[in-house]
Amino acid sequence: MSDKLPVVHSDPEILGGTPVFVGTRVPVKNFYDYLEGGDSLDDFLEDFPSVTREQAVAALELAREMTEAHAAVAR
């Protein structure tokens, strides 16, 4: 088990359970939408100052870990 602090949180009382960055009301999907649209990490952080750079990088690391775990199971 990892000793990393959680970066994503889902609570039915916050945006109806939409996964958000911990301590914010910013949906993680917004971050991925920015990146998919060609915007930079800095652009996202400027528009959503309640999200820290560490949180955004941790979300990317989490996505990578989940992708690698899925690929390993699929083999």
- Token pair 């993680």 in the structure block, residue: 28
Q: Where are the domains of the chain?
A: 8-74
The pLDDT value recorded for residue 2 is 52
* CA–CA gap between residue 11 and residue 41 (Å, rounded): 25
* CA–CA gap between residue 50 and residue 30 (Å, rounded): 13
CATH-assigned architecture of domain 8-74? Orthogonal Bundle (1.10)
pTM for this model (two decimals): 0.84
- Residues 33-70 pLDDT 10s: 999 999 999 999 999 999 999 999 999 999 999 899 88
